[in-house]
Structure 1
Amino acid sequence: MNNAKVVFLKKKRKKKKRNKKVLIYFLMGSFVAFILLNFGKTLLVQNFNPVGYLEWKVFEDGVRTEGFLFKNEVPVYAEANGKVELLLAWKKVRKGDTIVKIKDNASQKIIPVKAKVNGIFVPNTDGLEFIGPDNIETLNPSKILELYQPRKVEGDAVEGQPLGKIIDNLNPILLVIPKLSLRDNLVEGREYRLNINEKYELKANFLRKNGEVALFSINFYPDELLNQRKVSVFIKTKEYSGFWVPVSAVKQIAGKTYIYTLKNEEVVLTPVKVVLSRENNVLVEGEKESKDELIGKKYLIRPFLVQPGDKFH
């Protein structure tokens, strides 16, 4: 009899515990349902919508090629056999200045070599000194490549051999591109922006295209360019500018293009037009708003479950 009572009491406790667990699960479920109904979308929007900042970028299209720079150049020749001493290398000289001294092997006398023209004395040669703006178009482009042989002045001079050259630094430089394949036709007389050797940003006038040879005139240039002959060239033919965003940020709605921006932490549809597409990104500009109005604004990189007017904290 005592044993039966003990068994009855245990069963009663289990039933109470079960009811208690059901009540707890019910309350937890109700709480979760309340959160989802009231804050679920907000949580999803906040966690599944990465934000970026609109940054202005510029892209340039053009032609990459190689060319040669020509100036008015006067070779400087050795007037004796002997040891060379350079006096005014890479410096501006005037006609009559002593630019080189040679110690004659036979007489041991010092023979001065004087500048015959004004300009900059450059102590190297390349076999193209006789080519200039006056005769460049009379040469076959392949001949330029054959004759081009860069050479630095050595310590010993041979009478009659070139020691360098004096370059006219006051007149324009002529850029000659022997073989030019263009996707866009260049306009004669138009000014183009060039990048030479991925270092010098210059402006040049396109003179003409004679067969495969294109001629440019460079009026303003740094003196360092006078020592350059064969150069790499990038001719800029087009420029694109706008905000660089991933394709996922751009949405088509009713035939128009938009991105989702944030104004006072509120989602706003901003109309844009696509300027350029490249792989997974596009360059866009505001259709109604200017560059200054949009630059630095927050935007949604991958809009998800979001509508204009939604709050975004």
Structure 2
Amino acid sequence: MPTRKVVAFKRKKKSYKAVFFYSLLGVLIFFIFLNFGKNLLVQYLNPVGYLEWQVIEEGIKGEGYLFKKEVLVYAQASGIIKTKKTWSKVRKGDIVLEIEDTSNHALTKMKAPMNGIFVPVTDGLEFIGPDNLENINPEKIFQLYKPTVLGNEVVEGQPVGKIIDNLDTVILALPGVEKKGLFREGQDYQIKINDDLEVKAEFLRFSSGNALFSLPFYPDELLKLRKVKVFVNTSEKGGFLVPKSALRSIANKTYLYTLKNEEVVLTPVKIIKNFENNVLVEGEKESKDELLGKKYLIRPFLVRPGDKIYINT
């Protein structure tokens, strides 16, 4: 019988050096990708803002009434209005409108009783002026205010317009202001009327539930207004308005993450005023000029002071 030869193969021992090398290489690659991934996250998940100085106005909002020296013009005959001047400057004795009698076509010429601006609109408050305003109950003002535009046909004795003295002081009455310590007599305040007109007004006094202001200088368009929206600026606060997400509290202090030469820096700040989503702050050490225009992280994410990050802004 043929003899079978059995050959045994020996298993080679694994090289522990190779295992260690590849493990170390894997860990190194892992940390490289981890750091690379972190940099990507830092770059794309850290929006940057610029510190801009803002002034926040605080004050009182409400509805007010403007009162001027006004004289009603009454129709001296019944008939149809033929001509009229609209928002025109007139002198005493100038013809402001003509009324034609429907039966005989006779013309009655209406003359201005004083210098001023003729307005073919009445609202029921012409009898109130700077001289008697203090005697008027604020609730009565609301009840009496009924603007009416002049029609074509009028009857004798009917108000057909008014003359406004455009050189006299305008008085602003702000009803419903109960805080008597809020305004100081004789002090000037910046006032916004209907959100777009800004005037300086002197606070006179409180009277019959009204806060009274004097407007010695005003644009002509103010004469067209009676009932207005009012904002009285009582104080101003300046600072940097930033989102609440930008602030970090560390050891009972508040910080912003600012960038100096692309390096993250903790900048201590003081909170001036809180709003719903934002905070008005100022530098605790740095001045306004030192912080103005600086970049800051709106939502700091995976960053620490000293990190060098490059963010496309």
TM interval, shorter chain, is 0.7 to 0.9
Alpha-carbon distance between aligned partners in 2 of 1:257 and 1:296, rounded to the nearest angstrom: 20
Q: Could you tell me how far 1:27 is from its partner in structure 2?
A: 7.6
Contact 1:184 1:237 in 2 (8 A): no
Structure 2 residue 262 is matched with structure 1 residue 276: no
* Aligned counterpart, 1:231: 228
Question: Normalized per residue, which structure has more helix?
Answer: 1
Cα deviation per residue 1:192-235 (whole Å; 9 max; x = unaligned)?
12222223222211100124121111122121211211122122
Partner of 2:3: none
Structure 1 position 139 matched with structure 2 position 139 = no
CA-CA distance at 1:272 after TM superposition: 1.6
* Residues 174 and 29 (structure 1), Cα distance of their counterparts in 2 relative to 1, 3 Å cut: same
Sort the Cα spacing of 1:250 and 1:163 in 2 relative to 1 into closer, same or farther, 3 A.
Answer: same
Q: Choose the corresponding residue for 2:258, options 256, 261, 273.
A: 261
* Equivalent of 2:285 in 283, 288, 307: 288
Structure 2 unaligned runs (5+)? 1-7, 13-18
2:102 pairs with 1:109 = no
Query: Structure 1 regions of 5+ residues with no counterpart?
Result: 1-7, 16-21
Are 1:194 and 2:186 counterparts?
Answer: no
Could you tell which deviates more after superposition, 206-215 or 119-128? 206-215
* Paired residues of 2:137 and 2:209 also in contact (CA < 8 A): no
Rounded Cα–Cα distance in structure 2 between residues aligned with 1:274 and 1:288:
13
Is 1:130 matched with 2:132?
no
The count of residues paired between Structure 1 and Structure 2 equals 298
Match of 1:95 among 86, 92, 97: 92
Deviation at 1:28, TM superposition (A): 6.2
- Secondary structure of the corresponding residue to residue 226 of structure 1: helix
* 1:86-117 superposed Cα distances (whole Å, 9 cap, x missing partner): 33210111111111011122431221111111
Aligned identity (percent) is 59
Question: Residue 51 in 1 paired to residue 43 in 2?
Answer: no
User: TM-score when scaled to structure 2?
Assistant: 0.84
- 1:170 alignment partner in structure 2: 167
Q: Conserved in 2, the CA contact under 8 Å of 1:73 and 1:132?
A: yes
Deviation at 1:277, TM superposition (A): 0.7
Q: Please report the TM-score for the alignment, with normalisation by the length of structure 1.
A: 0.84
Corresponding residue SS for 1:137? helix
The answer (yes or no) to whether the contact 1:63–1:182 under 8 Å persists in 2 is no
Q: Displacement of 1:184 after TM fit?
A: 6.1
- Paired position in structure 2 for 1:19: none
Match of 2:150 among 148, 153, 178: 153
Following the alignment from structure 2 to structure 1, what is the Cα–Cα distance between the partners of residues 107 and 35? 99
CA contact (8 A) 1:276 1:284 kept: yes
Q: Which residue number corresponds to residue 5 of structure 2?
A: none
- 1:281 deviation in Å? 1.9
Aligned match of 1:297 in 278, 287, 294?
A: 294
Aligned-partner SS, 2:296: strand
Separation of aligned partners in 2, 1:304 and 1:179 = 49
Q: Secondary structure at the match of 1:252?
A: strand
